[in-house]
Amino acid sequence: MAHTKRNIVLLIWGVLLLSGIAYLVFKNASNKTISPRDWPEIEADGVLNIVTEYNSVDYYVSGDSIAGRQYDLCQYIEKRSGLKVKIFLENNLENCIQNLKNNTCDIIALNIPITNEGKKELAFTVPITQNKQVLIQRKPKTENDTLIRNQLDLAYKTIYISKNSPCILRLHNLSEEIAEPIYIKEVEDYSQEQLLSMVAYQEIDYAVVDKGIAVKNEKLFPEIDMKTDISFTQLQAWAVRQNAPVLLDSLNRWISERR
């Protein structure tokens, strides 16, 4: 009996010891911080990782080559920096931000609206462009069809946007302003252009996209209307990690040169 009790005590102590070790390993792993990756680390690596979105304005295939505003600027930065630029494609802004935080990428090369909310987790470059969000809807086919021109008429409408699109904050604020609900549907892994085409093909009724994207696709989809503004004109920029001030300064200089 005494021998059995001793075995039980030893077993209990063994379990407690293993639990303690597991706790310490978990605690150390959770407290582990990702090392900063600023210009010195990037320069030593020789590679500048940039994430952008595939669309007909910023990055797209033209014939047997790649073109687009963001692509052109990335090529200029590669020339000025002397680094090899690697470009990754991602339509989800939240995924881009996560990749930035875990050092998978160094720059988010998207036209991100510069907002106080965004400044809480991102460091913005100097403004690259001005843009606004517009409502995408179909032009009337009959006299009974009507277009939304007053933002008050968005009440109880279902609006589709890309997952984690920056315009979601504007739509929430707009819903508060008109004191009526606006139903927002975030679509995973769908670009703004895909949502625009879904409106044109009558799969959905309303979407919100950047005006620059809408203008680029106006001739391709003549049945769409994009004349109803959702936001005011906003300054838009690229973003880097907040702990990469040297990279940010370099980017600001190169962007200003190119602009």
CATH number at residue 44: 3.40.190.10
Q: Do 207 and 120 belong together in one domain?
A: no
Q: Do 198 and 137 belong together in one domain?
A: yes
The pLDDT-based confidence of 25 (bands split at 50, 70, 90) is: very low
Q: Do 62 and 107 belong together in one domain?
A: yes
**Is the pLDDT score of 10 beyond 50?**
no
Please tell me the pTM assigned to this model: 0.80
Assigned domain for 18 exists: no
**Is the pLDDT score of 7 beyond 60?**
no
As a whole number of angstroms, the distance between CA 193 and CA 214 comes to 8
Q: Which residue has the higher pLDDT, 105 or 35?
A: 105
Assigned domain for 11 exists: no
Assigned domain for 7 exists: no
CA distances from 193 to 82, 130, 162, 201, 244 (A): 33, 19, 10, 12, 32
* Continuous segment of H or E residues that includes residue 138: strand 133-138
Assigned domain for 246 exists: yes
Q: Do 182 and 220 belong together in one domain?
A: yes
Which residues have a Cβ under 8 Å from the Cβ of 128 and sit 6 or more positions away?
A: 73, 111, 236, 237, 238, 255, 259
Q: Do 118 and 167 belong together in one domain?
A: no
**Is the pLDDT score of 23 beyond 90?**
no
Assigned domain for 171 exists: yes
Distance from CA of residue 209 to its chain's centroid? 13
Rounded mean pLDDT of 147-171? 93
Assigned domain for 46 exists: yes
102-152: pLDDT as tens digits: 999 999 999 999 999 899 999 999 999 999 999 999 999 887 788 999 999
- Give the pLDDT of residue 164: 85
Range of the domain at 46: 39-130+236-258
Domain tally, the chain: 2
